[in-house]
Chains A and B, each alone.
Chain A
Amino acid sequence: MTWLVPLPVVIPLLGAALTLVIVRRPAAQRAVSLLALSCTLAVAVTLLVLTTTGGPLVVEVGGWVAPLGIVLVADQLAALMLVVSSAVTLCVLVYSIGQGVADGTVGAPVSVYHPTYLILTAGVTNAFLAGDLFNLYVGFEILLAASYVLITLGATESRIRDGTTYVVVSLVSSLIFLIGIGLVYAATGTLNLAQLAGRLDALPGSVRLVLQSVLLLAFAIKAAVFPLSAWLPDSYPTAIAPVTAVFAGLLTKVGVYAIIRTETLLFPGGRGTDVLLVAALLTMVVGILGAVAQSDIKRLLSFTLVSHIGYMLFGIGLASTAGLAAAIFYVVHHIVIQTTLFLTAGLIERRGGSTSLDHLGGLARLAPLLGVLFFIPALNLAGIPPFSGFLGKLGLLQAGVGHGGVLAWLLVGGGVLTSLLTLYAISRVWTLAFWRTPHLDVTGAGDAAEESTAVDRAAGSRLPPLMVAATVVLVVLGVGLTVVAGPLFDITADAAAQLRDRQPYVRAVFPDGAP
């Protein structure tokens, strides 16, 4: 069944080519995109089942033998990430189709939207499947190139301004990654991850530390780890809602995935773990303090995104199987929840005419369904007990306590504090945007609410059903993570054990031992 492995990359790429050809027929374009992403999701689920039962699957692209040719490796971690990412991209696609239909902008300038979106998906899946450091770089470049187009879509003044920050920072991080690749190649003579696992072990500790630092630096920029995270809240919020949502959900997590992969496979037990833990603590606390200070929902959510990256780093930095398992679980949870919240923010913008907490008010009465769609994922993000956010945080805290040590205990404290502050930030949004009486007119609160949104009511008095449906599906998916938390934790624990062992991955690529 190894022929399935390249499909998650190939299908979206073919879809992108096809949608580019039929650029004048929007209906067909939409159908092709939907079909391509549905197929990707189906393949991803199949891959997850196959890797869970039978271990990692490997394809040597073009039939070239492993250390010379490029390999695509689907192990449990990669397959799990594929499933979550393709499910989320599919939902966001439906949402954006709903938005396009509602706005009547299905035609001209947005005709590049579908091909670009599919290329973005292909880049993400390629990064997850890459068994080769350079192929990982190419995956990153594919997804970044597509994201540059998406973030500046429409090329308004603010998008160009914020897009510039994003593009330049991303380009610098890519260059650092490329420098890292050059150094790794100069030191070891290979870029194949499985072969590197053995060869890096043989290097002197100082050289390994340099290589680890350069790669970690590059991925930390992409994952928005604290001292390198200032670009994110500055650039994400200006893009259109579905684009922000998919960026927030996926792009930073690809960086986290790359950190997990390199830290476990290439540099296990290195001296980087303490650095990771300190960075995790700072990312969590500084990020959430930023969120507390915001008065715009999208920017607030961007800051919570940065902050919660810290939780994943916490799990990775513990360098234990329990920590890694919880971190992977948290990545899955966070992709779904953060995307949902940004989609809901898009709906709020449509309904309330703004995402600024200074202007919004009374949404709970105006649109009760919207309230539910915000409330559930928001509580989930903050980590209220029945939800997956709580389970993920609990797993991380348990792993932290089990690890012991001053730093780990500090992080446990920081994690609890961040969770509380997240709840505070989220409840501020809830009280101001949803519960507060609209403050335009003291005499008739109801009338004021009507007036304040009169303009938007004219534009689209009801939320487009397709957009709501896509958001509902994601909310249900987020709640569903709680229901399947047991089996999911089994999978992530299994994946973490395999990652820590390293041998399953290496043996899958080189059955006769690494050359």
Chain B
Amino acid sequence: MPNLLLVVVVGVLFACGVTLLLERTLTRVILGLTLLGNGTNLLILLGGGYGGPPIVGVTPQSEMSDPLAQAMILTAIVITLGMTALLLAMAYRSWVLTGHDEVQDDIEDRRIMQRAERDQGPESQDDADGEPALVPDDEGTSR
């Protein structure tokens, strides 16, 4: 039963891919996307049906597998390859700039944190007049 085996493989690839995709570091996200891409390619291959190599003279026409599905997979592989290369470059760039490749909080989260700091700012300034009081506050709000 080659088909059932492939279906299970597709499921496992998708599950692992999604898990990796939810990680914070870009390298793992890339690995997740690669797995998802491979799973999708297998899925399309399954859709093309089961048969011999689609070459005239090698396989009788009625027993050929669908060549179109394979052509689509080739295109998808090329596209995934390009995208993976680009993402790797971005991960490297991120590492060069920040020393890690973690995807940071989005701007909204950062703004809320800044607001919290600003709200606390004047009070502590009144109390202790400046920087020393601010520092522990800052850390307190950002956690």
In angstroms, Cα B103 to Cα A163, docked, is 10
Q: Tell me whether A167 and B87 are in contact in the complex, defined as CB-CB below 8 angstroms, given that A175-B40, A179-B40 are known contacts.
A: yes
CB pair A163–B43 under 8 Å, yes or no, is: no
Q: Which of B12-36 contact A (CB under 8 A)?
A: 21, 26, 29, 33, 36
CB pair A167–B69 under 8 Å, yes or no, is: no
Q: Residue of A at shortest CB range from B107?
A: A234
A-B contact count (CB 8 A): 79
Q: Which of B72-107 contact A (CB under 8 A)?
A: 72, 75-76, 79, 82-83, 86-87, 90, 93-94, 97-98, 103-104, 106-107
11 contacts between A and B (CB under 8 A): A145-B86, A155-B97, A156-B97, A160-B97, A164-B26, A168-B87, A168-B103, A171-B87, A175-B40, A186-B48, A234-B107
CB pair B72–A134 under 8 Å, yes or no, is: yes
A435 within 8 A of partner (CB): no
A138 within 8 A of partner (CB): yes
Return chain A residues, CB-CB under 8 Å to B36: 172, 175
B113 within 8 A of partner (CB): no
Binding site for A on B (CB under 8 A): 21, 26, 29, 33, 36-37, 40, 43-44, 46-48, 68-69, 72, 75-76, 79, 82-83, 86-87, 90, 93-94, 97-98, 103-104, 106-108
CB pair B47–A185 under 8 Å, yes or no, is: yes
Shortest CB-to-CB span from B98 to chain A, Å, is 6
In angstroms, Cα B106 to Cα A200, docked, is 41
A71 within 8 A of partner (CB): no
Return chain B residues, CB-CB under 8 Å to A179: 40, 43
Q: Which of A269-328 contact B (CB under 8 A)?
A: 299
Return chain A residues, CB-CB under 8 Å to B87: 167-168, 171
Q: Residue of B at shortest CB range from A163?
A: B90
In angstroms, Cα B90 to Cα A163, docked, is 9
Q: Tell me whether A185 and B94 are in contact in the complex, defined as CB-CB below 8 angstroms, given that A161-B104, A167-B87, A234-B106 are known contacts.
A: no
CB pair A185–B33 under 8 Å, yes or no, is: no
In angstroms, Cα B42 to Cα A182, docked, is 9
Shortest CB-to-CB span from B42 to chain A, Å, is 9
Which residue of B68, B94, B106, B107 is within 8 Å of A160 (Cβ)? B94
Q: Tell me whether A152 and B90 are in contact in the complex, defined as CB-CB below 8 angstroms, given that A171-B33, A185-B44 are known contacts.
A: yes
Which residue of B21, B46, B69, B76 is within 8 Å of A172 (Cβ)? B21
Shortest CB-to-CB span from B14 to chain A, Å, is 9
Q: Which of A123-169 contact B (CB under 8 A)?
A: 134, 138, 141, 145, 148-149, 152, 155-157, 160-165, 167-168
In angstroms, Cα B37 to Cα A141, docked, is 14
Return chain B residues, CB-CB under 8 Å to A122: none
Return chain A residues, CB-CB under 8 Å to B86: 145, 148-149, 167
Which residue of B29, B44, B98, B108 is within 8 Å of A168 (Cβ)? B29
In angstroms, Cα B43 to Cα A167, docked, is 23
In angstroms, Cα B79 to Cα A145, docked, is 9
Q: Residue of B at shortest CB range from A182?
A: B44
Q: Residue of A at shortest CB range from B17?
A: A175
Q: Residue of A at shortest CB range from B47?
A: A186
Q: Residue of A at shortest CB range from B30?
A: A168
Q: Residue of B at shortest CB range from A299?
A: B107
A466 within 8 A of partner (CB): no
Return chain B residues, CB-CB under 8 Å to A138: 75
Q: Residue of A at shortest CB range from B95?
A: A160
A183 within 8 A of partner (CB): yes
Return chain B residues, CB-CB under 8 Å to A299: 107
Q: What 0/1 readout, one digit per residue, does chain A (167-189) give for beta carbons within 8 Å of chain B?
A: 11001101100110111011000
Which residue of B26, B44, B97 is within 8 Å of A178 (Cβ)? B44
CB pair B33–A168 under 8 Å, yes or no, is: yes
Q: Tell me whether A181 and B90 are in contact in the complex, defined as CB-CB below 8 angstroms, given that A171-B33, A171-B83 are known contacts.
A: no
In angstroms, Cα B87 to Cα A145, docked, is 11
